[in-house]
Amino acid sequence: MAIQIKPRIAAFRKPSDISSEDAKSMPQKYFVASEIFAEEQKSIFFKEWLLVGHQSQIANAGDYVVQRVNGESLIIIRDKRGNVHGFFNVCRHRGSRLIETDNGNCAAIQCPYHAWTYGLDGQLIGAPHMDDVPKFEKADYPLQSANVGVWEGFIFANLDKNPMPLERWLTPLAGKFSHWNMPILQPAKRIEYDVRANWKLMFENYSECYHCPGVHPQLQKISPYDSAENDLREGPFLGGFMKINAGKSLTMSGNACAAFVGKIENLQQVFYYSIFPNMLLSLHPEYVMVHQLWPQSPERTLIICDWLFHPDAFNRNDFKPEDAIEFWDMTNKQDWHVCELSQQGIASRAYEPGPFSSRESIPAAWDREYLGHLK
């Protein structure tokens, strides 16, 4: 089912820190230093496409979500033509924050300070008492736009002035996930986690199951830790699949919890992919789980986890989304706990980079990709 993708070798701008030959974890500074964190924000999170949500969150005209991205507040909104826009949450009059709620619906965007009003397309449509201001034209004051794009139903934003188009960036993944019907899936649950660990530790943790026998006994019973096969091994998109034991599903009960999301060829596989720099995509036969990672400091990361199901599943008597949600909430917390333990140990003066095992080739590849983005 998976298409073949020619690997892209990441540039090595810091070959002294990690290479394919020494295959060790990164030095301490990458997990604790404020200057490294600042460089990450500048070189990665202000330049790359970042996952900010799913189009099901803004299904109708006027639906919006407000997302904080690297200190900026962005309004992601759908207009009357169905187009998705991104705007900085800043009034063009005197800079007031426009929308204070995290999500909602509006007929127009109105500033709470002086009532300047903008259409869903960002154009200024109302500015009280400005008609007598010489040379004032509403057309000169639209909301400042942010780059947004939609891929497989997921909404991405980019703060760079002239980024590579999202479609071009994700060209290597074209058609790869079509069996899961992700554009039409609907959310059943969102859980936010505040993790006291560096964001890179979560990516490294997600990218291997070397830790699964000891950390995830429930997961290990259903999906053997040594069954992983990776098809994306270098570059910004990494991962592959693991086996699910015959007749089982990744739920608390071990049974399927919903109608299948699409025409899945092998019901005994679960796919895990990381999409640089803030998306973790988990593809199950009957649901999709996706994580957004938002670094808050060198030692703290906000993680947003969504569970998505086929719309037909919601009307069936056998729909039990909590069976999957409880399973992965438990597993997530197990992962975040060991990541926090790693953060505590890495902060010690005793820490030195350790060698990756043969089962940690994807974390090593992720580290190489990450280092290639730093100046």
Residues 272 and 237: their CA atoms lie apart, in Å, by 11
Decide the pairing of beta strands 84-88 and 72-78.
Answer: antiparallel
Model confidence pLDDT, tens digit, residues 174-229: 999 999 999 999 999 999 999 999 999 999 999 999 999 999 999 999 999 999 99
pLDDT above 80: residue 144: yes
Q: Which residues contact 151 (CB under 8 A, 6 or more apart)?
A: 166, 167, 170
Q: What is the CATH number of domain 29-47+177-373?
A: 3.90.380.10
Percent above pLDDT 90 for the chain: 93
pLDDT of residue 15: 34
**What mean pLDDT is predicted for residues 306-332?**
98
Class of domain 52-166: mainly beta
Token pair 């699964």: residue: 212
Model confidence pLDDT, tens digit, residues 79-92: 999 999 999 999 99
pLDDT above 90: residue 128: yes
Side-chain half-sphere exposure of 39, counting CA atoms within 13 A: 14
Give me the chain's average pLDDT, please.
94
139 band by pLDDT with thresholds 50, 70 and 90: very high
Domain ranges of the chain: 29-47+177-373, 52-166
Contact 201, 343 (CB under 8 A): yes
Model confidence pLDDT, tens digit, residues 335-372: 999 999 999 999 999 999 999 999 999 999 999 999 99
Model confidence, pTM? 0.92
Token pair 């560096």: residue: 198
pLDDT of residue 60: 98
pLDDT of residue 21: 55
